[in-house]
Amino acid sequence: MTSTPALRALAALGIGVTLHPYAYDPRAEATGLQAAQALGIDPAVMLKTLMVEIDGRPACCLIPSDRQLSMKRVASAFGVRSAAMMPAPRAEKLTGYHVGGISPFGQRRAVPTAIEASACTAARVWINAGQRGLLLSLPPEAALRALGACPALLIA
């Protein structure tokens, strides 16, 4: 079985997940949507992991793969004045993962995390497991607990 820092972190917390491998397409314009389509998952519960900077500090947001972040809402959710997308090279260095395989779990350094509130009402959510072509699913409550995250309105 595949082992990633994300899966090891969840196992250490006693959180069980179901793994969902899929054929990752590096040419896909939207990898989250491509993953949802490949697995036949509703994009509303296929969450993409986005690294952001809030007042210059790193943070993580999980939102449905078919939606876009609202930087105004991100700033509000974290109680800061400004929010911006983190450049990909910085996100890779900070998390230890490659773009297309960034998981919120098992990152090199814990950062404040928020999950789109609308996704928190689902029975299960699908999130990257720490490598391209591998998702995990779990109840949103388990994701919130594992990440010390809060549900928030993040999408435009």
Give the CATH number for residue 25.
Answer: 3.90.960.10
Q: What's the start-to-end Cα distance of the chain, in Å? A: 38
Name the pLDDT band for 155 (thresholds 50, 70, 90): very high
Give burial (CB, 10 Å; 0-12/13-18/19+) of 81: exposed
Asked whether 154 and 69 are in contact (CB, 8 A), the reply is yes
Phi, psi (rounded to 5 degrees) for 114: -130, 145
- Spell out the residues 6+ positions from residue 70 whose beta carbon is closer than 8 angstroms to its own: 154, 155, 156
Q: What is the pLDDT of residue 29?
A: 85
Give burial (CB, 10 Å; 0-12/13-18/19+) of 23: exposed
Q: Identify the DSSP state of 69.
A: B
- The structural domain count of the chain equals 1
Q: pLDDT tens-digit profile of 122-144?
A: 999 999 999 999 999 999 999 99
Which range marks the domain in which residue 37 is found? 5-152
Q: What is the pLDDT of residue 1?
A: 52
Asked whether 114 and 74 are in contact (CB, 8 A), the reply is yes
Is 89's pLDDT higher than 70? yes
Asked whether 94 and 59 are in contact (CB, 8 A), the reply is no
Is 51's pLDDT higher than 60? yes
Asked whether 69 and 50 are in contact (CB, 8 A), the reply is yes
